[in-house]
């Protein structure tokens, strides 16, 4: 299987993860405002499973290092399967809760609270499990990224007064989603051997872990998203048949979104051996700023905002870059 040989390449993979995790949501915009999120989400999940399988059959099945993808799946024990699968279930529920929080309290409240909490707790949990990197630089970098996320929230508040249906419920949903989001990566990392060249028996290599993780997302989606379709946060309840009314191009865009996200997840897990789970996860969750970049410079979401908002946006990107640099140096 393909493995990373240097820390510098691992950092590049983590940066690609950040770009992917911060960019996949653009596909939801491309799918169109009339195509409901619940229906888009099915294709997004299918895309995650497809990419995990393709990477397993290609990158996970080439070269002499480690184990092949098929061998990896057959030798793993029930504990490793359970950990990776549960990681997928936790991620899926967390993702849906954060989306629900945005609908109730708006982006400026839900996203910084949910993803900010996930970033802080996730780095702490993953660092405790595998203490790799300078803790002072790592946590200082994380603190600066969190400050950047807070500035992002203030910028969104200046842009528009969010239609807050019930901010208290939204805040609780964001906290619950962020708390769960901080643990999914830990479960996947625990299912793997962090020596990819000579992996421990019974544990997964990255490709097997990500594939079983994706199956956890798929299976849990039949529960979580079905409930969401019947009890939507906005709009009328949806039927299964509504999914088949979408045009082929709309479905392909949703699948592309899942593929983009899963490229990021796969690269993050592949980088975990050299960078450590905490740094891999921490860099990946900098995706919030990548999403802000798309909103500011591509979708022009702030063109109607007061000029003073530019100061917040400039400070946000500056803190993010400094925090990102510290996280990278923490593992060097």
What's the mean pLDDT in 308-317? 88
Domain that holds residue 323: 7-330
| Closest by Cα among 209, 235, 220, 330 to 276 | 330
| Per-residue pLDDT at 314 exceeds 80 | yes
CA angle (267 as vertex; 122, 100 as ends), nearest 5: 50
- pLDDT tens per residue, range 122-138: 898 999 888 888 999 99
pLDDT, mean of residues 311-324: 89
Helix 7-23 to helix 277-284 angle (10° resolution) is 40
Distance between CA 316 and CA 298 in Å, rounded?
A: 17
SS3 call for 204: strand
Helices (H), the chain: 7-23, 26-31, 37-57, 69-75, 78-105, 107-129, 135-159, 167-190, 206-230, 240-243, 248-275, 277-284, 287-293, 309-330
Cα–Cα distances in angstroms (integers) from residue 305 to residues 6, 163, 164, 218, 315, in the given order: 44, 17, 19, 39, 16
pLDDT confidence bin for 261, thresholds 50/70/90 = very high
Q: How many other C-beta atoms are found inside a 10 Å radius of the C-beta of residue 292? A: 24
Q: Predicted confidence band at 295 (pLDDT cuts at 50, 70, 90)?
A: confident
Average pLDDT of the chain, as a whole number: 89
More confident residue, 217 or 96: 217
In a domain, 1, yes or no: no
Asked whether residue 49 is domain-assigned, the answer is yes
Confidence check: pLDDT of 59 > 50: yes
Give the C-alpha separation, 323 to 143, whole Å: 7
**What are the backbone angles phi and psi of residue 166, rounded to the nearest 5°?**
-155, 85
Contact 168, 153 (CB under 8 A): no
Provide mean pLDDT across the span 130-159: 85
Q: Would you say residue 286 lies in a domain?
A: yes
- Assigned token pair, 328: 């990278």
Q: How far is CA 90 from CA 206, 214, 229, in A?
A: 18, 11, 19
Q: How many residues does the chain have?
A: 332
- The residue ranking higher by pLDDT, 305 or 94, is 94
> Can you tell me the distance from the alpha carbon of 86 to that of 197, in angstroms, rounded to the nearest whole number?
25
57 located within any domain: yes
What is the DSSP code (8-state) at residue 294? I
216-233: b (≥16 Cβ within 10 Å) or e: bbbebbeebbeebbeebb
2 in a structural domain:
no
Tally the domains of the chain.
1
Of 18, 60, 7, nearest in space to 265 by CA: 18
Q: Is residue 172 part of a domain?
A: yes
Lowest model confidence (mean pLDDT) among 80-94, 179-193, 272-286, 299-313: 299-313
Q: What pLDDT is stored for residue 292 in this prediction?
A: 77
Q: Which residue has the higher pLDDT, 108 or 103?
A: 103
- Mean per-residue pLDDT, 106-118: 71
For range 265-285, the mean pLDDT: 92
49-61 average pLDDT score: 97
Enter the pTM of the model: 0.90
Nearest to 275 by CA among 1, 77, 5, 39: 5
Q: How far is CA 324 from the centre of its chain?
A: 17
Report residue 25's pLDDT band, with 50, 70 and 90 as the boundaries. confident
Q: Tell me the average pLDDT across 211-230.
A: 97
The answer to whether residues 58 and 1 touch, using CB atoms and an 8 Å cutoff, is: no
* Cβ-proximal residues to 159 (8 Å cutoff; 6+ apart), any chain: 301, 302, 304, 305, 309
| 107 compared with 1, residue with greater pLDDT | 1
The model's pLDDT over 202-211, given as tens digits with 9 standing for 90+, comes to 999 999 999 9
At 1, is the pLDDT very low, low, confident or very high (cuts 50, 70, 90)? very high
Q: How far is CA 297 from CA 180, 248, 290, 316, 318, in A?
A: 31, 29, 11, 14, 16
Mean pLDDT of 240-251: 96
Between 98 and 193, residue with greater pLDDT? 193
Cα(194)–Cα(189) distance, integer angstroms: 8
């Amino acid at each position: 299987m393909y493995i990373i040989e240097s820390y510098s390449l691992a950092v590049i993979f983590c940066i690609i993860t950040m770009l992917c995790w911060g960019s996949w949501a653009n596909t939801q915009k491309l799918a169109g405002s009339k195509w409901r999120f619940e229906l888009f989400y099915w294709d997004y999940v299918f895309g995650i499973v497809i990419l995990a399988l393709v990477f397993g059959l290609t990158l996970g099945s080439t070269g002499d290092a480690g184990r092949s993808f098929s061998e990896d799946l057959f030798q793993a024990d029930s504990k490793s399967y359970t950990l990776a699968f549960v990681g997928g279930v936790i991620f899926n529920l967390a993702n849906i809760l954060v989306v629900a929080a945005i609908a109730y309290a708006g982006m400026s409240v839900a996203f910084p609270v949910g993803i900010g909490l996930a970033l802080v707790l996730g780095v702490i949990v993953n660092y405790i499990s595998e203490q790799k990197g300078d803790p002072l630089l790592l946590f200082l970098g994380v603190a600066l990224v969190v400050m950047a996320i807070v500035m992002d929230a203030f910028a969104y508040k200046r842009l528009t007064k969010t239609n807050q249906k019930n901010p208290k419920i939204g805040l609780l949903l964001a906290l619950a989603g962020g708390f769960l989001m901080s643990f999914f990566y830990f479960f996947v990392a625990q299912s793997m051997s962090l020596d990819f060249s000579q992996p421990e028996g019974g544990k997964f290599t990255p490709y097997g872990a990500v594939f079983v993780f994706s199956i956890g997302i798929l299976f849990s989606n039949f529960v979580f998203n079905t409930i969401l379709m019947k009890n939507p946060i906005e709009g009328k309840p949806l039927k299964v048949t509504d999914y088949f009314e979408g045009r082929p191009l709309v479905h392909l865009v949703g699948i592309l979104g899942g593929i983009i996200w899963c490229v990021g997840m796969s690269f993050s897990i592949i980088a975990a051996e050299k960078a450590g789970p905490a740094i891999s996860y921490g860099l990946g969750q900098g995706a919030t700023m990548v999403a802000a970049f798309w909103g500011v410079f591509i979708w022009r979401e702030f063109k109607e905002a007061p000029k003073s908002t530019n100061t917040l946006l400039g400070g946000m990107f500056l803190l993010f870059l400094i925090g990102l640099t510290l996280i990278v140096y923490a593992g060097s």
